[in-house]
Chain A
Amino acid sequence: MRGKDVRLDQVSIRFGDAVAVQPLNLTIEAGEFFSILGPSGCGKTTILRTVSGFIEPTIGRVLIGGEDMAGKGPNERPTALIFQNLALFPLMSVAENVAFGLEARGVSKAERLKRAEELLSLVALTGYGDKKPSDLSGGQRQRVAIARALAVEPSVLLLDEPLSALDLKLRQHMRAELRAIQKRVGITFIYITHDQGEALAMSDRVAVMSRGRLEQVAAPDTLYAEPATPFVATFVGEQNVIRGTLRRISNGAASVDTPFGPIEGREVGTPAIGAPVLVMVRPERVTLGADRDNRIPVTLKARHLEGPSVNLECVADGQTLTVTLANGPAMRDLPNDLVLGFGRDDALVYAEGALANG
């Protein structure tokens, strides 16, 4: 099996008057584990269905391995789709499920059952061929769906939130497993999810979508450390959002007037002087103590123990600020009045824009 690259060229998708996907260009490299991350209704599933051939783009082209897919149905494309609910055939045995794609290609029964057995061993389900899907656990069903999709030797595997029905432990386990399978088979994976943890943990690159637009396409580390828009900043990970007015910019360093006094930060994009801006600080970048570039005196309101870390909920000037600190003896008896501090590089300054979760 060899992966192929997928290119969306000025693709836009409309359902009647509703625009599901705004015109966008996107290139997914061959053999890449690529995630599309976004809240429900952002158009990510529409893109997946467009690549798999269930939807034709209203305008633009879909190219897989350089070949234009226009007019090709789902059964004619080198893709295989794993559905959110897996869509295993409940009346067929596990082996028949896995072999279905080969059956459709006219492969002889003996050969396709042999191939099914090989694929089941690839996903560590040797000997489960005669069972019905309903006899398997959630994680096992997941792996059957993967084996069934891999049976047709696709160049691109499309996954539509296949882990969302699993419980947390299993989900984390399956993340590692999916990643390992992708490394083993070497084909392109396009993974759709609304769970940023999944996207960050598994992907080579992640595209963040909002309201039918691409917000940012980047490697997980970049996405987390350098979010390009306020939406990405707030959708991926936690943020303290402080509103203010931009006073001065020099060499990427920005000074912002806020209700907590002036804050020194790093500008992202190009906000105009005097314009309203958003200052974003991640809770884990904040420390206690006065020896930082920026200082905000606050009142401790609540302390949430997470185990390895502690979240402090603080209030200043009617606004809640959150701090995540490593747990330790010092975290036991904290005074009510604290000073929060963070560095110049920890505060990102954005022009006013849409945030995730309102």
Chain B
Amino acid sequence: MASLFRAYGRGLGALLIAIATLWILALILVPLGAMIEQSLWWKDSKGEITLQIDRLYNDMATLQLDASGESDAAKKAGFEAQIAQKQAEATALEAQETNPPKTYGLANFTRMSGLHFYIFIRTIIYALMVTALALVVCYPMAYAVALASGPRKAIVLTVALIVPYAINELLRVYAWLMILDYRGVINGILGWLGLVDLDNRGWIPFLENPSAVFLAMIYTYVLFMVFPMVNTLETLDRNQIEAARDLGASSFRIHRRVIIPHAKPGIAVGCIMTFMLSAGSYSVPAIMTRGQGGDWFSQLVYRQFFESNNWNMGSAYAVSLLVVCTAFILIMMRLFGVGLRDIAK
């Protein structure tokens, strides 16, 4: 902090610290804290109380009827007193109904149904598969981009990678939907070639298979896998590749012993990004499966919030996903022997 003041002066230094603090608070601590807090409590179901209140009002109506038919003033006063007492009871219960007491605990996490847990595990496995496939697809691409030089590099980079990203993500996913749909581009071509019979619904149901989601996800998140790898590969001294070749190494060995070890931090960052994005992606599985290929966990979280209106449960689901993603980051860092410092580079 002292060095910050020395470098930028008191005013600017204080401003920078204030901005950093605000950033950490507004973008990390407050939203995450709110979500974790939300996931740790619940309110008891209101059904019982509502029933009690209904009964009290029924009793009161009966008493009211009795009271209006009663001519004896003393008895009438007795009814009135009973009504007043029940009214007080009802009012107290009503207060409880509109604002039930919070109970803290881990029940939101343990209450997950077997089906939801199955979807949770399956989503993690799917996200791992997307990450692995993206790595396989992107490594050669990153290698080609990083080692290409001159104007060709700029063209490859912009055309192949950047331009698709100028298009809205939803549109890109919808484009894949159109390609893979029952009467989509691929089935259309196959039908035109006479390989499938579209008139009798003999199309290939690509979208009913999770690989359709994989495909769209890899396409959607390619850049997040490619760029970290390109960044690290660009720092590789090409003489090392030439030296390895000069010493008689095959291309495979050069990659395994020289290039991949160097690219490790980039691979780790790319895998982490792709895993996080695909494990938490809502739009891609929602659009691509249209409910036919099985839900992803993110869709369950969405439903807890906006259909079941159970924010506590939704938060618990979201926190579970967060925990798994964090664990994945730590495992990747350990596996690739990279520290936060390498990743920050």
Q: List A residues at the B interface (Cβ < 8 Å).
A: 52-54, 73-75, 79-81, 83-85, 87, 89, 91-92, 100-101, 103-105, 148-149, 151-152
B249: A residues at CB distance < 8 A: 75, 100-101, 103-104
Please state if B248 and A105 are interface contacts (CB–CB under 8 Å).
Answer: yes
**Interface majority SS on A: helix, strand, loop or mixed?**
mixed
A89: B residues at CB distance < 8 A: 240, 243-244, 257-258
Least CB distance from B101 to A in Å reads 59
B253's nearest neighbour on chain A, judged by CB, is: A104
Q: Would you call B237 an interface residue if the criterion is a C-beta within 8 Å of the partner chain's C-beta atoms?
A: yes
Given contacts A54-B246, A104-B253, A152-B248, 19 further A-B contacts (CB under 8 A): A53-B246, A54-B242, A73-B245, A75-B247, A75-B248, A81-B246, A85-B239, A87-B237, A87-B239, A87-B242, A87-B243, A89-B243, A91-B261, A92-B257, A100-B249, A101-B249, A103-B253, A103-B257, A104-B250
Considering the chains assembled together, what is the distance between the CA atoms of A89 and B260 in angstroms? 12
Considering the chains assembled together, what is the distance between the CA atoms of A182 and B261 in angstroms? 33
B255: A residues at CB distance < 8 A: none
B243's nearest neighbour on chain A, judged by CB, is: A87
Considering the chains assembled together, what is the distance between the CA atoms of A80 and B258 in angstroms? 18
Q: Would you call B262 an interface residue if the criterion is a C-beta within 8 Å of the partner chain's C-beta atoms?
A: yes
A105: B residues at CB distance < 8 A: 248
B251's nearest neighbour on chain A, judged by CB, is: A75
Least CB distance from B266 to A in Å reads 14
Please state if A74 and B239 are interface contacts (CB–CB under 8 Å).
Answer: no
Please state if A83 and B243 are interface contacts (CB–CB under 8 Å).
Answer: yes
Please state if A104 and B248 are interface contacts (CB–CB under 8 Å).
Answer: yes
Least CB distance from B337 to A in Å reads 10
Please state if B245 and A100 are interface contacts (CB–CB under 8 Å).
Answer: no
B237: A residues at CB distance < 8 A: 85, 87
Considering the chains assembled together, what is the distance between the CA atoms of A100 and B245 in angstroms? 10
Considering the chains assembled together, what is the distance between the CA atoms of A53 and B245 in angstroms? 10
Please state if B242 and A101 are interface contacts (CB–CB under 8 Å).
Answer: no
What's the count of A-B pairs with C-beta under 8 Å? Answer: 61
B337's nearest neighbour on chain A, judged by CB, is: A91
Please state if B247 and A152 are interface contacts (CB–CB under 8 Å).
Answer: yes
B239's nearest neighbour on chain A, judged by CB, is: A87
Please state if B240 and A87 are interface contacts (CB–CB under 8 Å).
Answer: yes
Q: For window 200-250 of chain B, which residues contact chain A by CB distance below 8 Å? A: 237, 239-240, 242-250
With A89-B258, A100-B257 already in contact, the answer to whether A148 and B239 are too (CB < 8 A) is no
Least CB distance from B259 to A in Å reads 11
Please state if B239 and A83 are interface contacts (CB–CB under 8 Å).
Answer: yes
Closest 6 CB pairs of A and B: A87-B239, A101-B247, A104-B249, A87-B243, A104-B248, A75-B248
Considering the chains assembled together, what is the distance between the CA atoms of A104 and B240 in angstroms? 14
Least CB distance from A166 to B in Å reads 17
Q: List 17 A-B pairs, Cβ < 8 Å.
A: A53-B246, A54-B242, A54-B246, A74-B242, A75-B245, A75-B247, A75-B250, A81-B242, A85-B237, A85-B239, A89-B243, A89-B244, A100-B244, A100-B247, A101-B249, A104-B249, A152-B247
Considering the chains assembled together, what is the distance between the CA atoms of A91 and B248 in angstroms? 19
Proximity bits, B76-114, A CB within 8 Å = 1, else 0: 000000000000000000000000000000000000000
A83: B residues at CB distance < 8 A: 239, 242-243
Please state if A80 and B262 are interface contacts (CB–CB under 8 Å).
Answer: no
With A89-B257, A89-B258 already in contact, the answer to whether A80 and B239 are too (CB < 8 A) is no
A99's nearest neighbour on chain B, judged by CB, is: B247
Considering the chains assembled together, what is the distance between the CA atoms of A73 and B248 in angstroms? 9
Please state if B247 and A80 are interface contacts (CB–CB under 8 Å).
Answer: yes
